[in-house]
């Protein structure tokens, strides 16, 4: 038994267990296979020499008509797999047989407003509970053994456009959540709750001018009112923290990314032309924030796209790693097409390099980390017109990389980044805020930029930004990546193929057709002396909803909802 700082005595999974999650292959307790989100397994029983012997152990169907996108990452604890499904469902599955132990189905109200499909990205385990969020912007604690509800708390009002799709993060007995709804003029926020009771401990809005709270009392204002926002636009400023965060134990820091400022039309936010100082940067949208987990105070920020005008959310995961020279760094592959390395102590800029082709909106990143804009590549001002001048922009608003998590190998030192090569026609339109209504002020059409491929899984050296190899795929990549000490890189495609590549060369070593497009996140673990790999198959997410011409390219793909579990039998582990 140990003690969580916020919740008293805790049985079951402890803070120490979470701290060591990345190095204990018998369980997977956190999203990212460790709170640093490296998605690296130390297991090497399954390797390049015997990967051909990996075969299906069991498959579990979510069943019913509730299919759509399955972006979840399974969790593994005490012989049970816990996995979320579309429409805010949670399943407990016997790890050996694939038999369902219990199911929880959230009772979603009419009128929910999810932006990008009815997906859920997973849960978090602490004590005797498992926690996950629902599409009506709630966070639920369930009993690990029975699925009974321990508590159910409201994050925000779904009628105003809020939702919640990310996996929660647990640090020192606090359940830490973001929020979704950036296309509805909401305000991004991070919240921390006592894991035992669900009571709020602190809140931290991420847009300047809003007040945080600590233990039910106002704490501090985020930023300085109207420092980078004109008039009252900060009140509906966007910046949704919709992908959740990571935790760096070395510096005791939560790192959360923030989404696009609202509305998309940058000319309404003093961001259409270069401005004096940082007026018009619209902090802290399109940024990464270092946050004190005990109080919710912002320690540092790094804004990847100031004066944002293309829907380049800054939410993509921030991964703590140690580079080849022993420096403690953060890495993040931004929606804007650049791969950034930051200092772990203070979030200071180290370097940035492009990881997708033909970027139009910026010539590069200067020595301070600020973009060198191509002003003619910004959508025009529609001040006295039906719409502003249309531009063709690369990457598209779905990003050089979107939500789908990359992986970092401690073996090769490289990052394996799922990316997409596409652009968009984009233009601005007049818009005014209305509660619960879309607040874009822009129109767009996504288009491929190459005939040969859209998806591209790249191996990137973080010290130089050099792309060591590039595995190309016809359809966009929209699922997570995992790498192992066995020299393997796992990911799935919308065409339904689950693939293992050689981590040094990118050569395809193994694949399995799952029957539906893969947008989920793979995991690997050890059970009864054998290595297992699990992926959830089920096509959906943002691409078929928002993909324009690209959506037509993948409109033949079948939906689904299946947990595929593979294993390497003991007797074949030494075969090659």
For 18, list phi and psi in degrees, rounded to 5. -65, -40
Give the Cα-Cα-Cα angle 471, 417, 324 (nearest 5 degrees): 110
Q: How far apart are CA 406 and CA 420, in angstroms?
A: 13
Beta bridge partners of 536: 563
Instruction: Report residue 551 CA to chain centroid gap.
Output: 21
Q: Is 121 annotated as a binding residue?
A: yes
Q: Is 403 annotated as a binding residue?
A: yes
Q: How far apart are CA 122 and CA 82, in angstroms?
A: 9
Cis peptide before 383 (omega within 30 of 0): no
Q: Is 71 annotated as a binding residue?
A: yes
- Residue 20 makes CB contacts below 8 A (sequence gap 6+) with none
**What percentage of the chain's residues is helix, strand, coil (to nearest 5)?**
5, 40, 55
Give the Cα-Cα-Cα angle 86, 436, 167 (nearest 5 degrees): 35
Nearest to 508 by CA among 497, 494, 516: 497
- 164, 133 Cβ separation under 8 angstroms: yes
Nearest to 356 by CA among 446, 444, 457, 241: 457
Q: Tell me how crowded residue 254 is: count the other CB atoms within 10 A of its CB.
A: 27
Cis peptide before 214 (omega within 30 of 0): no
Is 311 part of the annotated catalytic residue set?
A: yes
Q: Is 345 annotated as a binding residue?
A: no
Beta bridge partners of 313: none
**Residue 351 tokens, joined:** 């370097």
Catalytic pick among 21, 27, 311, 334: 311
Q: Where does residue 59 rank: exposed (0-12), middle (13-18), buried (19+ CB within 10 A)?
A: middle
Q: How far apart are CA 503 and CA 490, in angstroms?
A: 9
**Residue 225 tokens, joined:** 């009112």
Q: How far apart are CA 377 and CA 134, in angstroms?
A: 38
Nearest to 441 by CA among 311, 335, 546: 311
Q: How far apart are CA 316 and CA 296, in angstroms?
A: 20
Binding region: 71, 121, 165, 183, 260, 311, 402-403
Binding region for pyrroloquinoline quinone: 71, 121, 165, 402-403
Binding region for Ca(2+): 183, 260, 311
Active site residues: 311
């Amino acid at each position: 038994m140990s003690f969580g700082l916020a919740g008293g005595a805790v049985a079951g999974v402890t803070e120490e267990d979470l701290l060591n999650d990345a190095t204990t292959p018998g369980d997977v307790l956190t999203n990212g296979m460790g709170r640093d989100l490296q998605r690296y397994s130390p297991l090497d029983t399954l390797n390049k020499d015997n990967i051909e012997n990996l075969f299906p152990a069991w498959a579990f169907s979510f069943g019913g008509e509730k299919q759509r996108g399955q972006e979840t990452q399974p969790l593994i604890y005490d012989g049970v797999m816990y996995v979320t499904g579309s429409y805010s469902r949670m399943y407990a599955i016997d790890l050996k047989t694939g038999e369902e132990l219990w199911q929880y189905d959230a009772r979603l109200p009419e009128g929910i407003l999810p932006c990008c499909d009815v997906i859920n990205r997973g849960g978090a385990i602490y004590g005797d509970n498992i926690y996950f969020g629902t599409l009506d912007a709630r966070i639920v604690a369930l009993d690990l053994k029975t699925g009974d509800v321990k508590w159910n708390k409201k994050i925000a009002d779904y009628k105003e456009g809020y939702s919640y799709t990310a996996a929660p993060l647990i640090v020192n007995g606090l359940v830490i959540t973001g929020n979704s709804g950036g296309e509805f003029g909401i305000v991004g926020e991070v919240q921390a709750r006592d894991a035992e009771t669900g009571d709020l401990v602190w809140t931290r809005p991420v847009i300047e001018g809003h007040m945080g709270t600590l233990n039910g009392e106002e704490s501090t204002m985020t930023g300085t009112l109207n420092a980078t926002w004109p008039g009252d636009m900060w009140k509906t400023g966007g910046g949704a923290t919709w992908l959740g965060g990571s935790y760096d134990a070395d510096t005791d820091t939560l790192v959360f990314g923030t989404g696009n400022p609202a509305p998309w039309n940058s000319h309404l936010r003093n961001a259409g032309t270069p401005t004096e100082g940082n007026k018009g940067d619209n902090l802290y949208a399109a940024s990464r924030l270092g946050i004190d987990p005990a109080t919710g105070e912002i320690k540092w920020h790094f804004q990847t796209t100031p004066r944002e005008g293309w829907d380049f959310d800054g939410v993509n995961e921030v991964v703590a790693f140690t580079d080849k020279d022993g420096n403690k760094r953060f890495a993040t592959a931004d929606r804007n097409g650049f791969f950034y390395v930051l200092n772990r102590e203070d979030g200071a800029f180290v370097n940035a390099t492009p990881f997708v082709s033909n970027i139009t909106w910026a010539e590069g990143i200067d020595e301070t980390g600020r973009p060198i804009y191509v002003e003619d590549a910004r959508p025009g001002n529609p001040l006295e017109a039906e719409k502003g001048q249309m531009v063709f922009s690369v990457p598209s608003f779905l990003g050089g990389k979107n939500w789908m998590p990359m992986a970092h190998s401690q073996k090769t030192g490289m990052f394996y980044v799922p990316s997409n090569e596409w652009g968009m026609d984009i233009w601005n339109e007049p818009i005014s805020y209305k509660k619960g209504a879309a607040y874009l002020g822009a129109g767009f059409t996504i288009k491929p930029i190459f005939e040969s491929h859209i998806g591209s899984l790249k191996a990137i050296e973080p010290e130089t930004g050099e792309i060591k190899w590039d595995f190309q795929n016809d359809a966009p990549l929209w699922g997570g990546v995992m790498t192992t000490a066995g020299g393997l890189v796992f990911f799935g495609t919308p065409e339904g193929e689950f693939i293992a590549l050689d981590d040094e060369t990118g050569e395809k070593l193994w694949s399995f057709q799952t029957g539906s497009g893969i947008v989920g996140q793979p995991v690997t673990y050890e059970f009864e002396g054998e290595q297992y790999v699990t992926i959830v198959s089920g096509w959906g997410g943002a691409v078929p909803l928002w993909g324009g011409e690209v959506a037509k390219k993948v409109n033949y793909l079948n939906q689904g909802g299946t947990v595929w579990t593979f294993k390497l039998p003991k007797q074949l582990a030494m075969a090659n």
